[in-house]
Amino acid sequence: MAPPVPRAPGGATSARWLVAAALILTTGCAGTPSAPPSPELPRIEAGDLVRRWEDEWRAFPGLRAAVDLTVTRRGRAQRSAGVLLLSPTHLRFEVVTPLGLPALIVTAGPEQLLVWSATERRAWTGRPTPESLGRWFGVPLPPASLIRLLVGQVPPPSDPASARFEERGGRHLAFDRESVRHRVWVTAEGYPVRLQLDGARSVTAKFERTPAGGFLALSIEVPDQKLEAQIRYLFAESVAPPREAFEVRLPPEVRVEQAD
């Protein structure tokens, strides 16, 4: 489900929207603190809860948002004002200047990752692996999983009936997906608030929400890489972006390098 955060003004052109987003992001904005997870769990079977999430995901057309991205690597934090565009299969993130001009563009889909630094007039392309997305986006996950997290969802098991509630570590939903153990803590209404991935690499995702379940921010931590990333939504609107929106036409003089 798309984050129910303040929407951009209707009828604004893309350029005007980018400028407004960049100005608000660079001057700062305080988010509404989320309520702690309820100790109660939804009165629903685990498999039925997963199916509900899948029904919500199938209704997701796409999202355009102004965001604040902070990536901390080994104690060094870097904050970026950005514009995020999502479809169910693709993402595009633009780091913007206070004038609304793109400084860095990252696009990712099932087959390709592209990074273009407009300031350096250089570009990199490669496979959309978790390692490459961790390098350029700060989140070492494949695009399909990352997009789900960015809209407050969690990647589901292939068989919803395999999901079970467990008690160890506080009652939560648990299932296996692609040889990785997924553990999901939810609110009484069934909204995910924490996801723990236990595989070759441990990853923790936390969803900041309003008391009503609205999605405000996503935090991801990768302890073995001493990596933390937080993306906070300032504006968001539901859109169905065309495939062309994720294609980047590079100037002919830009040098393209392999990122693999």
* pLDDT, tens digit, 9 for 90 and up, residues 167-188: 888 889 999 998 889 999 999 8
222-256 in b/e form (b: 16+ CB < 10 A) is: beeeebbbbbbbbbbbebebeeebbebebeeeeee
Place of tokens 């001493």: 226
Q: How far apart are CA 19 and CA 191, in angstroms?
A: 33
Q: Is the backbone of residue 74 left (phi > 0), alpha (psi -120 to 50) or beta?
A: left
CB-count exposure of residue 194 (10 Å: 0-12, 13-18, 19+): middle
Instruction: Give 123's strand partners.
Output: 116, 256
Q: Is position 34 within any domain?
A: no
Give percent of the chain with pLDDT exceeding 90: 55
The parent domain of residue 84 ranges over 14-29+40-246
* The pLDDT of residue 192: 95
User: Are the C-beta atoms of 126 and 132 separated by less than 8 Å?
Assistant: yes
Q: Is position 259 within any domain?
A: no
Q: Is position 8 within any domain?
A: no
Q: Is position 257 within any domain?
A: no
User: Are the C-beta atoms of 96 and 230 separated by less than 8 Å?
Assistant: no
Kindly report the pTM of this predicted structure: 0.81
pLDDT at 28 over 50: no
* The pLDDT of residue 130: 85
Q: Is position 241 within any domain?
A: yes
CATH code (residue 150): 2.50.20.10
The vertex-231 CA angle with 70 and 169, nearest 5°, equals 105
In tens, the pLDDT along 221-252 reads: 999 888 899 999 999 999 999 999 999 999 98
